[in-house]
Amino acid sequence: MRAARLGERDSSIELEKQARFAELVGRRTTHIAIIPPTREIAVGGYGEAVMPLQNRVTPLSELVADPARGLVYGNRGCLHDETGRIRRRYNGKRWIACRLQFRGWQRRPLMQPGRFTELFFLDDATALAAGHRPCALCRREDYARLVAIWRELHPDQVGAEAIDAQLHSERVAPGERRQLRHEAPLDELPDGAFVLRGAAPCLVLGAYLLSWTAAGYEARRPRPARQQALLITPPSLVSVLCSGWEPFVPLLHPTALAAQT
């Protein structure tokens, strides 16, 4: 019972945090459902342990278990087994990023057997870095803009399947299932791109690089001049960012602005 009460308290705290996030990012969060964290309960020992699901996605495209919540939802097929354990990194080439709420549809319980695995991202920049594109259904305006930009980048590629195939070739190493990285001049990268510094993903924002965590951005450092960087965000999606990408979902978590000051 004590663990259950703690879980309820954690949910209330998280709701308050998300409400503050909504105020900070303004009108672009009016469509977002503020929902409590989804946790799985493991029973053992002398009581219940409240554990987060392994459905938070990092910029490195890894799935981690963390109690922090994100501002963007998505999926890349069914990744879990009948017990809810993650068994694969992806299932298919259609990796999408969605709104947290759309037409009142409910996504509970999560990780149902045989259904797609519900994933959560800190923000749209994180989703792009992991290789996810806007959903054509719940983010129709963003998807239409992506298609228009794509027409300029890849004139011979038409339709979602062609876009997904191109992105898959940029985000997954051939013959393997690990994330593919690319060399790029750090000076030329747009805000919202992610690079690898050491073993950690960092957001490019103005003259700084911000360290990513599941709860938000922290620890800024100057963006080095005249250096090559190991780019995490797929090159085609970097070009999308260069176009002045302003999605309907939050591009950056509010902590990015706080870390920049």
How far apart (Å, rounded) are the C-alpha atoms in residues 210 and 13? 25
Domain range spanning residue 145? Answer: 140-260
Report the amino acid identity of residue 18.
Answer: Q
Neighbours of 36 (CB within 10 A): 15
The confidence score (pLDDT) of residue 107 equals 67
- Mean local confidence (pLDDT), 82-107: 90
For the cut 60, the answer to whether the pLDDT of residue 3 exceeds it is no
pLDDT band at 142 (very low <50, low <70, confident <90, very high): very high
Q: Residues near 49 by Cβ (< 8 Å), separated by ≥ 6?
A: 3, 41, 42, 43
pLDDT for 10-68, tens place per residue?
A: 434 443 444 344 333 333 333 333 333 444 433 333 344 468 999 999 999 999 999 98
Residues 102 and 153 in one domain: no
Residues 146 and 238 in one domain: yes
- Mean local confidence (pLDDT), 115-119: 95
For the chain, how far is it from start to end, CA to CA, in angstroms? 42
Q: Residues near 171 by Cβ (< 8 Å), separated by ≥ 6?
A: 61, 95, 130, 131, 179, 180, 234
Residues 33 and 109 in one domain: yes
Mean pLDDT of the chain: 84
pTM to 2 decimal places: 0.81
Residues 82 and 172 in one domain: no
- Of the chain, the percentage scoring pLDDT greater than 70 comes to 80
The confidence score (pLDDT) of residue 86 equals 96
For the cut 80, the answer to whether the pLDDT of residue 188 exceeds it is yes
Residues 125 and 205 in one domain: no
The confidence score (pLDDT) of residue 31 equals 34
The confidence score (pLDDT) of residue 105 equals 75
Residue 105, exposed/middle/buried by CB under 10 A (0-12, 13-18, 19+)? exposed
**Residue where one domain finishes, among candidates 103, 129, 155:** 129
145 part of a folded domain: yes
Burial 194-206 (b: 16+ CB within 10 A, else e): bbbeeeebbbbbe
∠ Cα 217 34 247 (to 5°)? 60
- Mean local confidence (pLDDT), 91-118: 89
Residues 64 and 23 in one domain: yes
The confidence score (pLDDT) of residue 153 equals 92
Residues 23 and 120 in one domain: yes
Residues 172 and 191 in one domain: yes
107 part of a folded domain: yes
How far apart (Å, rounded) are the C-alpha atoms in residues 39 and 14? 13
Which tokens go with 190? 């747009």
The confidence score (pLDDT) of residue 102 equals 85
135 part of a folded domain: no
134 part of a folded domain: no
Who wins on pLDDT, 49 or 241?
A: 241
109 part of a folded domain: yes
Residues 78 and 30 in one domain: yes
The confidence score (pLDDT) of residue 97 equals 98
**Residue where one domain finishes, among candidates 129, 162, 195:** 129
Residues 48 and 95 in one domain: yes
Of 64, 39, 38, 25, nearest in space to 201 by CA:
64
Number of domains comprising the chain: 2
Residues 63 and 173 in one domain: no
Residues 73 and 27 in one domain: yes
The confidence score (pLDDT) of residue 9 equals 39
Which segments within 46-179 are labelled E, that is strand?
A: 47-52, 56-57, 63-64, 72-75, 96-98, 119-121, 133-134
The confidence score (pLDDT) of residue 246 equals 95
35 part of a folded domain: yes
- Mean local confidence (pLDDT), 246-256: 96
151 part of a folded domain: yes
Who wins on pLDDT, 25 or 255?
A: 255
81 part of a folded domain: yes
pLDDT for 153-181, tens place per residue?
A: 999 999 999 999 999 999 999 888 899 99
Question: Dihedral angle at the C-alpha atoms of 216, 260, 232, 157, nearest 10 degrees?
Answer: 100
The confidence score (pLDDT) of residue 104 equals 76
**Residue where one domain finishes, among candidates 85, 109, 129:** 129
